[in-house]
Amino acid sequence: MIIKQCRLCKSDSLKKVIDLGDHPPADTFIPQKYKDIDLPRYPLSLTKCSACGHVFTSFYVSPEERYQRYEYSYDSSNSIVSENHFKDFAEDVLDTKDFSPDSLFVDIGSNVGTLLTKFKDKGLNNVLGIEPSENISKLANSNGIRTLNYFFDKTLQNNLDFNNKADCILSANVFNHTDDLGEVFELVLDLLSDEGILVFEVPYLLDLIKQRAFDTIYHEHVHYFSVKALKEILNSYDFEIVKLKNIDYMCGSLRVFCQKKSSSIYEALEVETFIENENSFSLFDDETYLSFMKDIKNMKIKLNSDIDSILKKGGKIIGVGAATKGNTLLNFCDLDHNKISYLTDTSKLKVGKYSPGSLIPIKHDDEIDNSVTHLLILPWNLSDYLVNKLSFMKKKFLIPQMENLK
């Protein structure tokens, strides 16, 4: 279903600005027994709203299709990079506001509880995760993080006491996945104490466009936030941005601190600076997206020509890190098991499965064999870490990043 109204401001003045072709949901890693069943593919394209500047997926794919076809495979604790990131996130929150030992911290889309663990490590034990995936929330509870297995939607009001107000509501890389943000902000307003703080992280549209990070586009990522659009939606739900940061995580993200307008906090000065930067980069102009499309088509041609020449010389290429974004890259560049022998990962939730669309088998990092000549680093944002970790193997690296593919 094509979306006909802006997901934030409801305007119908929309324009398709990015088109990556038809893709299956990128986060659906396929168990062996379902390997021969074709996954449905949906148009993967982005629309820009002329009224508020918001960018979002043009085609609606239901949450069931995005997350629940098979067991969900994303585990937020699966790398030292994400562990360090969540530690920094927690410290930043605790530097911003004073809390008491019994303050309640609620994490929306808490995954296995990695972020909440960092608060417990600081002696703040009153933590609660809300996680829609059954297998992931079980893992969280077994890790000692109290977690309710629900979507953060109105049904939660039947299962959680909203009179017990939260002092801090957290969310990392979740609001960009959320179809109905209005419903979420209404619930946050209800659950958060008047002096409480909402802190969330979402990937930043400006970083995506600047870096040509087209592989961070997938159906699970419904929204692509600019500060201009975020400010508008937050203000309309009675929130003000009290602190704002641009961080490196997920190829460039925003960390947004908000409080209720009623608690007399003034909007942070940096908000206008971010919006000025977006305007001076022409983030809301159609021409910016035309040149983005031209560049990524050239990247596809260059990557394929590099890979074909390696294979012609008898090389063997594997992909390292079965990251979700790798699936957009593989499918957009028409790379499958005929060119990439296998992928490797350390997550138990991915090893033994197949990548969606490209159907490349996933092995454990320890199983890289001697005949491999080249490692294609799929999570290129972690390339420093991965190259360092794997350099002892004396293989050549392919890093699919704009500066390497011009």
User: Among residues 11 and 305, whose Cβ is nearest to Zn ion?
Assistant: 11
- Structure-token match 């009675």, residue found: 238
Give one DSSP letter per residue of 175-237, joined into a string. GGG-S-HHHHHHHHHHHEEEEEEEEEEEEBHHHHHHHT-GGG--TT--EEB-HHHHHHHHHHT
Cα separation, 307 vs 400, in Å, equals 11
User: Among residues 9 and 189, whose Cβ is nearest to Zn ion?
Assistant: 9
User: Among residues 15 and 297, whose Cβ is nearest to Zn ion?
Assistant: 15
Least Å distance, CB 49 to Zn ion, is 3
Least Å distance, CB 236 to Zn ion, is 11
Question: Which of the residues 30 through 89 are near Zn ion (CB under 5 A)?
Answer: 49, 51-52, 54
With DSSP H G I counted as helix, E B as strand and the rest as coil, what are the percentages for the chain, rounded to 5? 40, 25, 40
Determine, following the binding rule CB under 5 A, whether residue 3 of this chain makes contact with Zn ion: no
User: Among residues 50 and 263, whose Cβ is nearest to Zn ion?
Assistant: 50
| Contacting range for Zn ion; rule: CB under 5 A; set: 8-16, 89-97, 360-368, 378-386 | 8-16
3-state secondary structure of 319: strand
Binding map of Zn ion across residues 275-314, x = CB under 5 A, - = no contact: ----------------------------------------
User: Among residues 54 and 212, whose Cβ is nearest to Zn ion?
Assistant: 54
Question: Which of the residues 240 through 259 are near Zn ion (CB under 5 A)?
Answer: none
User: Among residues 69 and 231, whose Cβ is nearest to Zn ion?
Assistant: 231
Number of residues that bind Zn ion (CB under 5 A): 8
Binding Zn ion (rule: CB under 5 A), the pick from 2, 4, 5, 11 is 11
Least Å distance, CB 58 to Zn ion, is 13
Least Å distance, CB 20 to Zn ion, is 22
Determine, following the binding rule CB under 5 A, whether residue 9 of this chain makes contact with Zn ion: yes
Least Å distance, CB 214 to Zn ion, is 22
CA atoms within 13 A on the CB side of 190: 15
Binding map of Zn ion across residues 128-167, x = CB under 5 A, - = no contact: ----------------------------------------
> Exposure string (b/e) for 218-237, b if CB count within 10 Å is 16 or more?
bbbbbbbbbbbbbbbbbeeb
The enclosing H or E element of 107 equals strand 105-108
Kindly compute the dihedral angle of the four CA atoms of residues 208, 214, 218, 223, in this order, to the nearest 10 degrees: 30
User: Among residues 54 and 66, whose Cβ is nearest to Zn ion?
Assistant: 54
Q: What's the burial of 161, exposed, middle or buried (CB within 10 Å: 0-12/13-18/19+)? A: exposed
Least Å distance, CB 282 to Zn ion, is 18
Under 8 Å between Cβ of 86 and 111: no
Cα separation, 184 vs 211, in Å, equals 30
- Name the pairing type of β-strands 374-377 and 362-364: unpaired
User: Among residues 51 and 81, whose Cβ is nearest to Zn ion?
Assistant: 51
Under 8 Å between Cβ of 171 and 93: no
User: Among residues 11 and 155, whose Cβ is nearest to Zn ion?
Assistant: 11
Cα separation, 370 vs 143, in Å, equals 37
Least Å distance, CB 11 to Zn ion, is 5
Under 8 Å between Cβ of 108 and 171: yes
Least Å distance, CB 13 to Zn ion, is 8
Q: Give the interface with Zn ion as residue ranges (CB under 5 A).
A: 6, 8-9, 11, 49, 51-52, 54
